[in-house]
Amino acid sequence: MTVSILSAHLPGDRVRALLDAAEKADGIAAFSEAFVQGLDDARLRHTHFLAEDNGQVVACAGLAEDGSAELVVHPQRRQEGIGEALAEAVRAEDSDAGLWAHGNLPAAQAMAASLGLRVDRELLVMGIDAEEIPAGGPDLPEGFEALNYVEAGKRWGRDVVDKQWLEVNNDAFSWHPEQGGWDLERLRRAMEAEWFDPAGVQLLYHGDELAGFHWTKRHPDGTGEVYVVGLASRYRGEGMGGPLMQMGLDHLVQAGSAQVILYVEADNEPAVKRYRQLGFAVRETHVVYR
């Protein structure tokens, strides 16, 4: 078995069968959307590590510029030390790299223990069934208006709407390692995703000022997702979080989603509490090991 590092070449389809086999065995995807995209998109500038046996890829790791990494080993080649070898290769490239373990499965826990790694970050997937979501649209105070991205673009133009969206996003997520600090290129690259639906981006306006956004996503199986919700700092504490949340939930239910999920940091106790009050319950746990 050989381990190779690809910094200028993209593994693309060479890894997809491996990812499919792992997801079928584990019941959860080993790579997140961004890391799947990084297999083919050089703009993300991911470094890839491949473990090959007789020319067949049996394991792969991806390392992003921000130090986050994801790793997958073929189900039939686990417990052979391949995962540990790839993890060590990633850490040799970036000594502070954080290794994501989606689902925090026993194999990932065992590998982390063997390398002396500990949980550094915990991300929860919370979900709710559609019938538990209150029917009807949001109750907006006077002066506020709900529009989707298409409607707002027709009124003010795409460039204006995108600028407003970026400002609110970077204000709301100035603290966030993945969602903060976006530029226009990053936003529009995200909008290139196959699943992107401009009508699924719900925008809350106060006059001609964007107060917040609720970016929704629908998965191939129809599952809805509260993809990103951001509220401008000047509108916090005014009770607008609930209506903004309801805007997206109502859109997803109307689109036919039988359930809705969201991702939230486990240590964001106020948010977790709020989502529990809305009826969401924890369904998966994802962690970063360092």
Q: What would the pLDDT profile of 30-59 be if each residue is shown by its tens digit?
A: 999 999 999 999 999 999 999 999 989 999
Residue 72 neighbours by CB distance under 10 Å: 25
Amino acid 8: pLDDT? 66
**Is residue 157 located within the same domain as residue 236?**
yes
Q: Which residue among 117, 146, 163 closes a domain? A: 117
Q: Is residue 289 part of a domain?
A: no
**Is residue 107 located within the same domain as residue 153?**
no
Q: Which residue among 85, 117, 149 closes a domain? A: 117
Query: Is 143 labeled as ligand-binding?
Result: no
Domain count, the chain: 2
Pick from 70-79, 101-110, 175-184, 269-278: least confident: 175-184
Query: Is 269 labeled as ligand-binding?
Result: yes
Expressed as residue numbers, the domain containing 253 is 128-284
**Is residue 136 located within the same domain as residue 188?**
yes
Query: Is 271 labeled as ligand-binding?
Result: yes
Query: Is 90 labeled as ligand-binding?
Result: no
pLDDT tens, 214-273?
999 999 999 999 999 999 999 998 889 999 999 999 999 999 999 999 999 999 999 999
**Is residue 74 located within the same domain as residue 17?**
yes
Query: Is 161 labeled as ligand-binding?
Result: no
CATH of the domain at 246: 3.40.630.30
Query: Is 24 labeled as ligand-binding?
Result: no
Please choose, from the candidates 70, 161, 128, the residue with its C-alpha nearest in 3D space to the C-alpha of residue 262.
128
**Is residue 143 located within the same domain as residue 87?**
no
Please choose, from the candidates 71, 81, 78, the residue with its C-alpha nearest in 3D space to the C-alpha of residue 48.
71
212 with 204: CB under 8 angstroms? Answer: yes
Residue 39 neighbours by CB distance under 10 Å: 20
Amino acid 228: pLDDT? 96
**Is residue 75 located within the same domain as residue 214?**
no
